[in-house]
Amino acid sequence: MSVIIAPSVLSADFANLQRDIEMINNSEADWFHVDVMDGVFVPNISFGFPVISAIKRHAKKPLDVHLMIVQPERYIQQFKDAGADILSVHIEASTHLHRSIQQIKQVGMQAGVAINPHTPVSSLSEVIADIDLICMMSVNPGFGGQKFIERTYAKISELKEMILKSNSKAKIEIDGGVDLKNASALLKAGADVFVAGNTVFSSKDPVETIRVLKATTV
């Protein structure tokens, strides 16, 4: 199975959001990656429910919503109502992670857990069998266009092993600094999903860049 491509809307032109959504609709991309930042968990603020609802009205592919907010459990139903299909909460922002995962599934979304670069893979051991996605940060969250952290490869391999051992169906999503140079090595290490913001949106031909990413082989 080929890698899942999730272009990050954070790097889109917000003054031409519908145009950029149509570009993704008409490309080989699989999901829309939607980054929500609250200015507290991360040092940046992005957008909230009205923008996500607007994206949903035009998107013909699932919305993969990545919450970089404190107390994400307060808003699970609202993200479902806004159109999220997959909802990831940060382990570092979740006191009751197990409960949040159950709530995400109860309201009818796929459940993801995001982990920062400093967070060990082992911290996922008690929830790995319950989740659909791990959003592994390969940059410190908050901004697009940052440099990929090389240590991520070792974390992917370790996570892949944990997934296999626990019979988990969770997919490994790599978020931050994915480009045409590291894509193959990431796939080889065990990645299932590539988030790509800067690589797609600052390229001359985003549809072609998505096609090339989707065609990644080990």
C-alpha–C-alpha distance, residues 90 and 71, integer Å: 9
Instruction: Using alpha carbons, select from 95, 91, 188, 191 the residue that is nearest to residue 138.
Output: 191
Give the type of residue at 139.
V
Does residue 175 bind Zn ion (CB under 5 A)? yes
Query: Of these residues, 30, 35, 64, 85, which one is catalytic?
Result: 35
Q: How far is the CB of 68 from ligand DX5 (least distance, A)?
A: 6
Q: How far is the CB of 109 from ligand DX5 (least distance, A)?
A: 18
Does residue 139 bind ligand DX5 (CB under 6 A)? yes
For the chain, the distance separating the N- and C-terminal CA atoms, rounded to the nearest angstrom, is 12
Does residue 90 bind ligand DX5 (CB under 6 A)? no
Selected range binding ligand DX5 among 3-11, 23-31, 47-55, 204-212, rule: CB under 6 A: 3-11
Q: How far is the CB of 26 from ligand DX5 (least distance, A)?
A: 20
Selected range binding ligand DX5 among 16-24, 122-130, 166-174, 193-201, rule: CB under 6 A: 193-201
164 contact partners, CB below 8 Å, separation of at least 6:
none
Structural contact between residues 68 and 141, judged by C-beta atoms closer than 8 angstroms: yes
C-alpha–C-alpha distance, residues 61 and 210, integer Å: 14
C-alpha–C-alpha distance, residues 139 and 119, integer Å: 12
Binders of Zn ion among residues 31 to 90 (CB under 5 A) are 35, 66
> Does residue 171 sit in helix, strand or coil?
strand
C-alpha–C-alpha distance, residues 183 and 3, integer Å: 10
Selected range binding ligand DX5 among 14-22, 80-88, 172-180, 207-215, rule: CB under 6 A: 172-180
Does residue 29 bind ligand DX5 (CB under 6 A)? no
User: Is position 175 annotated as part of the catalytic site?
Assistant: yes
Question: Given the rule CB under 6 A, which residues bind ligand DX5?
Answer: 8, 10-11, 33, 35, 66, 139, 141-146, 175-178, 195-199
